[in-house]
Structure 1
Amino acid sequence: MTDLHGKTLIITGATGNLGQVLARALSERGARLALVGRDPTTLATTRQQLPAQSEVATFVADLLNPQEVAAMVQGAVKRFGSIHALINAQGGFAMGPRIQSTSDADWDFMMDLNLRTVFNTARALIPTLLASGNGRIVNVSARAATRGVAGMAPYCASKAAVITLTESLADELKHDGITVNCVLPGTLDTPQNRAAMPDQDHDRWVSLEALADVILFLVSDASRAVTGAAIPVYGRS
């Protein structure tokens, strides 16, 4: 089992399906956690679901607001002293119309939710990681990043951009002891996806726990030689 005692990790999107599973898995392995979300009530609920002995702090921040992101990072550093890793689990999906009917708002929503949040958090945390001389950044892209699909152009483009941003960050930071990777999950087994696709074979989907296991590897010392990777996590889908 991955041992993360003494490591502090920031998880964005901590109140989402994946964020909650990650928080539990990381806390069980001894990590100290800075959980980031927009709603203090759901953040508090997420915290309460973790083992009582877990060392956890919660931070309310709008990841589209650079000032709030910077304040969150400063707060986490003040609370824990150092940061080992950032997991960008914030993101989301929405179907849309064909390109000619796509509004600026539709396009910007996906780009903001899936890409700008990653950019803002990485930009804010990198100086701290550089000062410590090591660190891990893990971003969540998607299988949809590898192939454009009708009605999903903003989503596919935003997730593809996450891969490119990951590669650029990895290249910039590869001599500084900082690794940057991303995961490309297929269809995740979530309550929302089950409700939207009740007739699908859910056993073929990717469990949140399975995806979390890959992310745990990427934030651990075992992944020290891996950077710039976009790792498929497709299950049997």
Structure 2
Amino acid sequence: MGKVMTTAYAMSGLLVGFLVGLTGVGGGSLMTPLLVFMFGFAPKTAVGTDLLFAAITKGGGVLVHHRSHRSVEWKIVLQLALGSIPAALAVVYLLETVFKKDEAVTAIITTTLGIALIFTGLSLLLRKRLSRKSAIRRLTHTERFGRWQGALTVLVGVILGVLVTLSSVGAGALGTVALLFLYPRLATVRVVGTDLAHAIPLTAVAGLGHLHMGNVDFTLLGSLLLGSLPGIYLGSQLSAKIPEWLLRPALASLLLLIGCKFVL
């Protein structure tokens, strides 16, 4: 039975990795609901395991963006982290000290997960429009928010820190949309690289916090990692062959439905 389940976990990693490579959507919004609904994991275990899974798998992506494309804006990464890391630590502290009962933790994580999935689905629908507007503003050299830009970036980090620690969702799609809105003159590849670089310390800190609370299943983590790497490769190879206008709305609708199921 153990070997069968391990194989099933690896196949789930393969499936999610394939979808991530295909769509570019972060694994948390796909992996966590799958672990909860298909395999019956407690939401806190699904979130904790997925956070460490994300921290490990995103590392390779950042190396590519930094070394090959030089597309990481480290100043923005630092500003996001100034908000997200303290927020993540605060959430972990509250989960350990204030919301000690399993029922309370499950209720908070489940509700936040649903909300984060709904926002992620909406962000998928808005991302292309924001990218188009961002490209236009780069050409016209207009900027927004002025001296408030840094403070708003830190605030976005705080929001992401809370959402990601409670749900493992948001570091990818929501972070990208927020940066496209705050930095319209930044090329999309730089937005993606910057958001990815920020996601690593955030998911690592949040994941280690969940590890300290006993919310990480290492057998599951290893199996997911084993399956995800070939899945990401296969999805990336096929991504150019499937029209985005068909894939993105379908995925957004799925996330909206799953999010509503968690909330309601």
Q: Report the TM-score, using the length of structure 1 for normalisation.
A: 0.31
Whose relative contact order is higher, 1 or 2, with alpha carbons under 8 Å and at least 6 apart?
2
**In proportion to residue count, which structure has more helix?**
2
**In proportion to residue count, which structure has more strand?**
1
Q: Report the TM-score, using the length of structure 2 for normalisation.
A: 0.29
